[in-house]
């Protein structure tokens, strides 16, 4: 199967024939060399992302589930804080609520992990009754106003980055 690799930094695509010894862990170094970006596309044009996200309803609680779609263990997995739009102010005001996520030490190949989170409102931790993770669930046909910015270290110790649109 031919593999097409797209480098979002340069906008250039590479055929597997152009890069001998190509492996799934291929990445492109950013200009600063600190962060690499990788998207792997099959010959059918389908992009394979490193992570996929799901939400699990456990009674009144919603949990964020992160799945490693690669064939390697990923380390130091972090999701940046998500600042939520203010629902009380018409037209949206400054963010009063945000979600912070705990870092994962590692996540194995094809494994799922529940990412612990905390909701903060007006700079204070919110109780379970005020949890806001529900707002990140994707609803079909609706815009996705938030983004999960995920970083991790691959098997070679290089920092990688992925953005996943979420919310409603």
Do 98 and 126 fall within a single domain? yes
| pLDDT higher than 90, residue 89 | no
Residues 16 and 79 in one domain: no
My answer on whether 29 and 68 are in the same domain is no
- Predicted local confidence at residue 31, as pLDDT: 34
What is the span of the domain harbouring residue 43?
Answer: 1-48
**pLDDT digits over 66-84, tens only?**
999 999 999 999 999 999 9
Other beta carbons within 10 Å of 62? 17
Q: Domain check: are 11 and 72 in the same one?
A: no
Number of domain units in the chain = 2
The structure's pTM equals 0.70
The DSSP bridge pattern shows strands 51-58 and 12-15 to be unpaired
Instruction: Please tell me whether residues 79 and 140 are part of one structural domain.
Output: yes
We report the CATH number of the domain holding residue 108 as: 2.60.40
Arithmetic mean of pLDDT over the chain: 79
Q: 112-159 pLDDT, tens per residue? A: 999 999 999 999 999 999 999 999 999 888 889 999 999 999 999 999
């Amino acid at each position: 199967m031919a593999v097409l690799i797209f480098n979002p930094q340069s906008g250039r695509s590479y055929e597997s024939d152009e890069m001998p010894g190509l492996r799934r862990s291929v990445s492109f170094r950013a200009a600063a060399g600190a962060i690499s970006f990788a998207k792997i596309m099959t010959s059918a044009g389908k992009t394979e992302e490193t992570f996929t996200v799901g939400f699990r309803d456990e009674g009144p609680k919603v949990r964020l589930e992160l799945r490693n779609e690669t064939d390697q263990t990923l380390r130091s997995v972090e999701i940046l804080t998500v600042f939520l739009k203010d629902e009380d102010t018409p037209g949206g005001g400054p963010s009063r609520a945000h979600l912070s996520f705990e870092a994962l030490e590692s996540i194995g190949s094809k494994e799922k992990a529940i990412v612990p989170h905390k909701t903060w409102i007006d700079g204070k931790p919110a109780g379970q009754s005020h949890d806001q993770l529900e707002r990140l669930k994707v609803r079909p046909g609706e815009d996705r106003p938030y983004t999960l910015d995920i970083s991790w270290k691959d098997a070679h110790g290089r920092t990688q980055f992925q953005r996943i649109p979420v919310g409603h």
